[in-house]
Amino acid sequence: MEILIEDNEYFSKLIDQRLFDFNSQSGKTPYFTKRDNPDEGRKIGFYCTVDGKLIGGANTYLTHDWLYLDELFIEATYRRTGLGTQIMETIEAYARQHQLVGIYVETHEFQARGFYEKNDFVCLGELPNFPRGNKMYILTKVFEKVE
């Protein structure tokens, strides 16, 4: 037996196909039988402007019937004005309208964990030293009962 450490395109595709085959047979939803979901990974932006100037917004992605909140940023002069909450409410309305399971986000200890919790997100866990010397939190807001 030998364990190789290398960038091998053939083996990579073979692992991908074998995992797909296993998931297709074992997964509880039809999601696992779709090889190419055109919505998967689709970027949806939520942007706020004043006189054509971007003052805040969020970049999100559809993934596994969830909305992944990748980036949320508000210009300093507009923080603590309710703009972040307005953007989050718009994101949530979009996710609910599209019947997604919920929203999830990763944030670091120096970022916005309290903001997300104020907006009814629940912290599922933390990754210490991600990167070294920092903590990252994973938070979710679930819209439907999870089995």
Mean pLDDT of 4-17: 86
- Which percentage of the chain shows pLDDT scores above 70? 89
Identify the pLDDT of residue 76: 93
**Dihedral of CA 50/56/62/64: which sign?**
negative
Mean pLDDT of 66-87: 95
Pick from 29-33, 81-85, 115-119, 120-124: least confident: 29-33
Residue 133 sits at the vertex; the CA angle it makes with 130 and 139, to the nearest 5 degrees, is 40
Identify the pLDDT of residue 33: 63
Is the confidence at residue 17, as pLDDT, over 90?
A: no
> Is-contact 39 70, C-beta < 8 A?
no
Helix (H) / strand (E) containing 117: helix 113-118
Identify the pLDDT of residue 41: 73
pLDDT tens track for 27-45: 776 666 665 565 667 899 9
Mean pLDDT of 125-141: 96
Is the confidence at residue 105, as pLDDT, over 60?
A: yes
The dihedrals phi and psi of 87, each to the nearest 5 degrees, come to -65, -45
Torsion of CA 88, 47, 104, 82, to 10 degrees: -30
